[in-house]
Amino acid sequence: DVSVNGLGLSSTTAIELNETVKIELRNEIQRFKKMVRGVVVYTMARDKGEIQIGIALNFRLTPLEVSLLSMKGRSKTDSGDGIWM
């Protein structure tokens, strides 16, 4: 998950609360890449050893950056046309 103020990630590696992290965000299709820093504000154990991690960013993302990072790529429709998902 991505918002202007934070990120929600899944990991198999535990990260401590209040730990400062550096994360590279990217969308290869749109050729977008940005390095961000933030602080772990919550962790929650999930199924199969996964851990849900919430990160508060030190700087806000712009709405355009959130949009670029929310795009999952292209998928084919029944007619064969590509669409953004």
- For residue 48, what pLDDT is reported? 86
Q: Convert the pLDDT of each residue in 32-77 to its tens digit.
A: 899 999 999 999 998 888 999 999 999 999 999 999 888 765 544 4
* C-alpha distances in Å from residue 71, one per residue of 41, 46, 84: 25, 25, 7
- For residue 28, what pLDDT is reported? 84
Q: Per the confidence metrics, is the pTM higher than 0.85? A: no
- For residue 76, what pLDDT is reported? 47
Q: Which helix (H) or strand (E) holds 27?
A: strand 20-27
- For residue 84, what pLDDT is reported? 42
